[in-house]
Copies of this chain bind each other. A is one copy, B any other.
Amino acid sequence: MDGVETILGADPEAMVSQLLELGRDLCLRLFEGMAGLRAFDDRAVILQRQGRIGTYPTFYGEEAVQTASVVALEERDWLFPTYRQTAVVTLRGCPPLVPLLMWRGHPGGWHDVMRYRVAPVCVPVATNLPHAVGAAWGARLRSADWVALGYAGDGATSAGDFHEACNLAAVTGSPVIFLVNNNQWAISTPLRRQTRVQRLAEKAAAYGMPGLRVDAFDVFACHRVLRRAAELARSGGGPTLVEAVGYRLGPHGTADEPALYRSPAADRLWAPMEPLGRAQLGLVSAGLADAGELAEIRGRASARLLAAAEELERSPRVTLEEIADTVHLSTPWDLSPDHLREPSWAAAGE
């Protein structure tokens, strides 16, 4: 892939030396992160099939970018996920039960935003990006040194909020990373119908910020590139657009039927890029880990998710009255228990 930074795709010797440079600890941390995300995704798909959660947008294949985005940043840095990064918060220490509850439509699914410094999951495409700019700009204003990272898809780059966010970030010199997961599809819309510029990193020039491209299936390259962007941001260099070039290996979500709009042949072509297998190959050939060790990591992750899934049914129902009490700091009369469910005429009629 043209101008796309990669480690696992480099010639074997270069790969090994670059992995060794990263070091075993970091490499295993990255692998472990991916294992956690994969276990989450696998389990969520099963739970959806069992009818225990609702429609679910799988992120199978995006584990490398997502893991790198968390590991390359510091705990004080802010993350702004979309519907496709609902599990990144688990890499910040949040129990996987929480995002599973969200997909179960349970209010226990709202994670602790301030504790994990992960914004609430954002559904409308690109609208999380201005939030990321604000959080980053705030660091500049408060002379703090956190950075913010906003996730976007290839489709999201067409939306107005992407543009306004990039421009505002550049003008304010805010330490923000726009991480575009270019999986080449927005539901059924292929990249070539999304925009005429097929290298999305080139869009960065319109805002006067750097644009970097990285192999989305290579967790090590993603880490290196995101780390670079974060360092630039932290040292006052302002925003960067990072395009992770990949492919959506799965359907858009559990309700989607890719057979309607894309060829299984292309899918098959991309399937071997699956990032965990690819990372494992690299780690083993670099002598940084053996297959058994890695299998154990994955096994632990699966077990953890199985346990979370079992807890799912045990989460007590929350009443609508309780939820109504979470909308405002000082709950208005019309959301109080007396007026919410049975409007006051009920009392009046008694």
* Chain A interface residues toward B at CB < 8 A: 158-164, 167-168, 170-171, 193-197, 202-203, 205-209
Contacts and interface: CB of A to CB of B under 8 A. Distances in A.
A197 B205 contact: yes
Contacts of A205: 197, 202, 205-206
Contact of A206 (B164, B170, B194, B202): B202
Contacts of A162: 163
Contact of A160 (B164, B193, B194, B195): B164
Contacts of A171: 193-196
A209 B197 CA distance: 9
Copies of this chain per assembly: 2
Among A164, A194, A202, A209, the most chain B Cβ lie within 10 Å of the Cβ of A164
A301 to B, nearest CB: 39
Contacts of A168: 158
A207 B196 contact: yes
Given A171-B193, A197-B206, A202-B206, 7 more contacts: A158-B164, A158-B167, A160-B164, A163-B164, A171-B195, A196-B209, A206-B206
A195 B172 CA distance: 9
Among A161, A168, A170, A197, the most chain B Cβ lie within 10 Å of the Cβ of A197
Contacts of A194: 171
9 contacts: A159-B160, A160-B163, A162-B163, A163-B164, A167-B196, A170-B197, A171-B193, A171-B196, A197-B208
A203 B206 CA distance: 4
A94 to B, nearest CB: 32
A209 to B, nearest CB: 7
Nearest to A162: B163
A164 B205 CA distance: 17
